[in-house]
Amino acid sequence: MALSAETESHIYRALRTASGAAAHLVALGFTIFVAVLARPGSSLFSWHPVLMSLAFSFLMTEALLVFSPESSLLRSLSRKGRARCHWVLQLLALLCALLGLSLVILHKEQLGKAHLATRHGQAGLLAVLWAGLQCSGGVGLLYPKLLPRWPLAKLKLYHATSGLVGYLLGSASLLLGMCSLWFTASVTGAAWYLAVLCPVLTSLVIMNQVSNAYLYRKRIQP
């Protein structure tokens, strides 16, 4: 028996709500897992994985899900209020990423190791730089009068697309980090595969939620 359009819509929204809830839990769980594994404070390097997972797994995931019609934890806020929260979360993510990058650079200097010698390091640097540019671009959305010649709708589209690319870069950096000697020496077998699935799952959810959030805004705009 074929399902009605209304039933299919309810099922689709339920699945998106469930996937969004899973993304919240996975992003938080993965960050806690990395923190327990790294034991922050045990060494200078120990802060690097904690700060990077906090930035690219938890804070950025929450910042992007703020705008999801089904998965946002701040649906009661106005559009402007959620935009402010998004900007604050993204700024915190950038600060964590910059600090994490600075600490690993200092760690390598102390050990006399080469910088950017791995794909993980290169992807991480690119993700941090992209996050910085993304936050700078967000200022134009907070204060559109700074860019009077650019239509606001196009600015939002470009910002959302660029933000999604930046999130995927951050997730790629996390994935490559889980191939490092430090991570593979501590996490093996099924636990390693489960850890790898975390940024993959959140990336898939974010791609779906961001694209649908934009389409949702287009539908409700007069």
How far apart, in whole angstroms, are the C-alpha atoms of residue 97 and residue 125? Answer: 9
Q: Which two tokens stand for residue 72?
A: 């946002």
Predicted confidence (pLDDT) at residue 54 exceeds the cutoff of 90: yes
The better pLDDT of the pair 89, 217 is held by: 89
| pLDDT at 1 exceeding the cut of 60 | no
If you average pLDDT over each of 3-12, 15-24, 209-218, which comes out highest?
15-24
DSSP string computed for 87-140:
HHHHHHHHHHHHHHHHHHHHHHHHHTPPSS-SHHHHHHHHHHHHHHHHHHHHHH
pTM as predicted: 0.90
What's the confidence (pLDDT) of residue 214?
57
Q: Return mean pLDDT, the chain.
A: 89
pLDDT in tens, 211-220: 775 555 555 4
Give the range among 100-109, 122-131, 150-159 with minimum mean pLDDT.
150-159
Whole-number pLDDT of residue 220: 47
Topology (CATH) of 18-217? Four Helix Bundle (Hemerythrin (Met), subunit A) (1.20.120)
Q: Which helix (H) or strand (E) holds 55?
A: none
* Domain ranges, ordered by start, for the chain: 18-217
CB-based contact 30:195 (threshold 8 Å): yes
